[in-house]
Amino acid sequence: MPEPRSPLGQPLDRADGVAKVTGRAKYAAEFAPPDLAHAVVVTSTITRGRVTACDTAAAEKSPGVLAVITPRTVPAMKAVPADLLPKGRPPIELRPPLADEKVSHFGQAVAVVVADTFERATAAAARVRVTYQADEPALTLEEAEPTAFEAETFVGREDLKHRRGDVARALAGAAVKLEAVYRTPVEHHNPIEPAATIAEWDGDSLTLHDSSRWVHATRRVAAGVFGLSPEKVRVICPFIGGAFGSKGFTWQQNLLAAAAARHVKRPVKLVLTRQQMFTLAGRRPETKQAVALAATKDGGLTAVRHATMSETSPLADFVEPCGTLSKHLYSCPNVEVTHRVVRLNRSSPVFMRGPGETPGSFALESALDELAVAAGIDPLVLRLKNHADRDEEKDRPWSSKHLKECYRRGDERFGWAKRDPKPRSMRDGNLLVGWGMATAAYPGIRMEARAKVRVTADGRAVAASAAHEIGNGAYTVLAQIAAAALGLPVDRVRFELGDSDLPFAPATGASQTTAAVGSAVTAAAVEAMAKLVKLATTDKASPLFGIAVDQLAAREGKLVSRADGAKADAFSDILRRAKLKGVEADATAAPGEEKEKFSFLSTGAQFVEVKIDPDLPRVRVTRVVGVYDPGAVLNPKTARSQMLGGILMGLGAALLEETVYDGRGLVVNPDLADYRLPVHADTSDIDVSFVNEPDRHFNPVGARGLGELGISGIGAAVANAVFHATGKRIRDLPITPEKLL
């Protein structure tokens, strides 16, 4: 009898696909507790200063209004707990909303109006009259540079200061050298679902239906801020309509909703408007990166210097860790990486897909392309020549790395060999054709997680952990992992997530859900299976009575003797005879000593073709080839979707996306017409493939995760292609038509 195919590696449809396209999937704002009231936030129209008066009289008299909450009337809130991370202060605002009358950025919450309907709350909110005393704001990196401070680590996880060898000396004596400054703008996550919360109090118990991609942290935040024990708070989030780095920890809307609900003694719903998503829900900071590279005549890197300046708000400490890849992506004896941060009067920044890797790889991979041009070497050859065979930052081996194979396959699939290196040399009719490439990389990260698994007498199983379905396919892939570990067909396994009553899971971020939660699911499944095995082998009525554990396998819902396939006992029979409804186990999985022995890095190769009308220079991306090594690919279908999403977001960052602050610090494009995301017509032929080699040092399923790998390197691959097409090197994103006129 052939082994049934493992559910791992199958291109299964999304478990939640039908629910999503038929509207049955319920998002945070779609729950409807009885007596629900609606809150609308009033935001500041100045950039820095203080509120001198807030006239709420007209709003309070507006029909249906239950309350107008200002810093003077807001229920007491303590600071957000500072110990949400294993190490270091969380990079978010610890000041609870409406804590004082200071304004530190445009679009800050200054009041909240609660009414019986959303429309009436909105109408009343427009009648709140706020008067300000405006102070001089800090608006640009250049202006604020004298007050820059050095950042030591990224969320306590990654060193932001690294020095090896002697960069200055290597630069001074270099045969080939490149020094340039690269800039990337503020970007916003713009998930299609805005940040949303429904808060409901029952005595001193609080339930939040919240668009949170870390329900356990949101629970701790709410408990800390409202002085409750964590068991009194429940955070529920079965689906998230995209986050891309937003919606983690806490954002003001969940605390404001809870405060408003407490104030009006009714459940309250608060959904940010699209405009408010640009000032109250996080963003990627602006960066300015000075890169210096030195090489021998034949392109061997002798120095890498990557000095990043990014900005944060007066209210939170976030740093965009642009230089992290530069420490180890290439082999180089002399490396210097630093990060400085200034405070600007803008809303608080936070993680955004590939924090650091996205803008950082734009700088590093553009610089490498410039070096290739200067040295007269093919950009792909240059990268192969400088391939890092081990992690030279930590001086230890990679757990598993197949980047050379990614380059090789990408080269072939794209047809890179046919590239004429001379700029402006390739044409399609009247159009200039450009081919560019870059390396993609994202670390393999995995934090502690817990899961439980229950096998039931009907021959099915339920696995659960407080993870999140963020569009990533978590329901699907985590069920596949449980099914594989239990020897059950995947359609007999259901996964539960998105509820802080479930076992602890880390934030759905750092591309780790599959790796972290999947490991816990495997561990819990193994324990549940051990219980079943014990029941069967100690039960005289079982055909497996007395057989040693290591002689048993689980497949198709049965325990089977390895020696004699005819000896089998179905899970349902085992449980029925034991008069049990099910067996359950929970387990924690955490990284162990492998963390000190190996470095973990997912890598890939990105190839891009652009076509540009020389007179009307809009950049059109006509082809992308991406080949990736994220370890094992557990579901090629959802994995491909992740890569496509990353690539598209990368194309947006390369060509379109930019949040614009004007000379007064106002966001002037806070909607989806004026903040341009790529639309279908901007997409093209995108070819995604995987090397698919499991990383057994990393975790049992061998998957490093891939949510952020696809966006890495795309910005540079596009800019490099634009240079190849036009001979113009664009070092500040996005590459809009006026930069090529």
Partner 1 sequence: MTPFDYTRAEGSAAAVKQVSGSAKATFLGGGTCLIDLMKLHVENHDLLVDITPLPLDRIEATAGGGVRIGANVRNSELAHDATIYKNYPALSEALLSGASPQLRNMATVGGNLMQRTRCPYFRNGFSPCNKREPKSGCAAKDGYNRSHAVLGVSEHCIATHPSDMCVALIAFDAVVKTHGPKGERAIPITDFHLVPGDTPDRETVLEHGELITAVELPAAPWAMRSHYLKVRDRASYEFALASAAVALEVVDGVIKTARVALGGVATKPWRAADAEKSLVGQKPGAPAFAATAEMATKGVAPRQFNGFKVALVRRVIVRALETVAAMK
Closest CB to partner 1 among 24 and 680?
Answer: 680
Cα angle: 720, vertex 334, 161; to 5 degrees = 85
Residue 374 DSSP symbol? H
CA 235 to chain CA centroid, nearest Å: 20
Closest CB to partner 1 among 375 and 649?
Answer: 649
What does the block give as tokens for 374?
């200067």
Closest CB to partner 1 among 682 and 693?
Answer: 682
In angstroms, rounded to a whole number, what is the distance separating the alpha carbons of residues 533 and 529? Answer: 6
In angstroms, rounded to a whole number, what is the distance separating the alpha carbons of residues 481 and 635? Answer: 10
What does the block give as tokens for 601?
């890095």
At closest approach, how far in Å is the CB of 685 from partner 1?
A: 14
At closest approach, how far in Å is the CB of 72 from partner 1?
A: 23
C-alpha distances in Å from residue 352, one per residue of 443, 509, 630: 15, 9, 20
387: number of Cβ within 10 Å: 15
Cβ-proximal residues to 169 (8 Å cutoff; 6+ apart), any chain: 334
Contacts to partner 1 by CB under 8 A: 45, 63, 119-120, 122-123, 126, 615-616, 618, 620, 655-656, 660, 662-664, 666, 668-669, 673-674, 676, 678-682, 736-738, 741
Closest CB to partner 1 among 374 and 666?
Answer: 666
What does the block give as tokens for 58?
């007209």
Closest CB to partner 1 among 370 and 658?
Answer: 658
In angstroms, rounded to a whole number, what is the distance separating the alpha carbons of residues 335 and 652? Answer: 31
Q: In the 3-class helix/strand/coil scheme, how is 271-284 assigned residue by residue?
A: ECCHHHHCCCCCCE
Closest CB to partner 1 among 184 and 289?
Answer: 184
At closest approach, how far in Å is the CB of 105 from partner 1?
A: 15
Closest CB to partner 1 among 86 and 737?
Answer: 737
> Within 13 Å, how many C-alpha atoms sit on residue 212's CB side?
36
At closest approach, how far in Å is the CB of 13 from partner 1?
A: 27
Q: Does residue 439 contact residue 713 with C-beta atoms inside 8 Å?
A: yes
At closest approach, how far in Å is the CB of 674 from partner 1?
A: 7
- Whether 143 sits among the annotated catalytic residues: the reply is no
Q: Does residue 630 contact residue 693 with C-beta atoms inside 8 Å?
A: no
Beta-strand pair 552-555/268-271: unpaired
Torsion of CA 600, 217, 210, 282, to 10 degrees: -60
Closest CB to partner 1 among 390 and 676?
Answer: 676
Residue among 578, 453, 583 at smallest CA distance from 524: 453
Closest CB to partner 1 among 138 and 621?
Answer: 621
Closest CB to partner 1 among 271 and 319?
Answer: 271
Closest CB to partner 1 among 368 and 619?
Answer: 619
At closest approach, how far in Å is the CB of 44 from partner 1?
A: 10
At closest approach, how far in Å is the CB of 711 from partner 1?
A: 18
Q: Does residue 270 contact residue 41 with C-beta atoms inside 8 Å?
A: yes
228: buried, middle or exposed (CB in 10 Å: 19+, 13-18, 0-12)? middle
At closest approach, how far in Å is the CB of 452 from partner 1?
A: 44
At closest approach, how far in Å is the CB of 116 from partner 1?
A: 13
Cβ-proximal residues to 593 (8 Å cutoff; 6+ apart), any chain: none
Residue among 273, 283, 253, 243 at smallest CA distance from 498: 243
Closest CB to partner 1 among 9 and 617?
Answer: 617
At closest approach, how far in Å is the CB of 67 from partner 1?
A: 19
> Which of the following is catalytic: 93, 286, 392, 708?
708
574: number of Cβ within 10 Å: 26
At closest approach, how far in Å is the CB of 675 from partner 1?
A: 11
At closest approach, how far in Å is the CB of 118 from partner 1?
A: 10
CA 128 to chain CA centroid, nearest Å: 36
Closest CB to partner 1 among 566 and 673?
Answer: 673
Question: What b/e sequence results for 674-702 when a residue is b if at least 16 CB atoms lie within 10 Å of its CB, and e otherwise?
Answer: ebbbbeeebeeebebbbbbbbbebbbbbb
Sheet containing 568-570: give its strands across: 552-555, 558-561, 568-570
CA 281 to chain CA centroid, nearest Å: 14
In angstroms, rounded to a whole number, what is the distance separating the alpha carbons of residues 228 and 286? Answer: 37
Alpha helix locations (H) across 417-569? 474-486, 513-537
Q: Does residue 68 contact residue 59 with C-beta atoms inside 8 Å?
A: yes
Q: Is the dihedral of CA 436, 725, 284, 39 positive or negative?
A: negative
Quote the longest CA-to-CA distance of the chain: 84
C-alpha distances in Å from residue 421, one per residue of 11, 611, 725: 38, 16, 10
3-state secondary structure of 536: helix
Bridge partners, 401 (sequence order):
none
Q: Does residue 109 contact residue 280 with C-beta atoms inside 8 Å?
A: yes
At closest approach, how far in Å is the CB of 5 from partner 1?
A: 41
Catalytic residue numbers?
Answer: 708
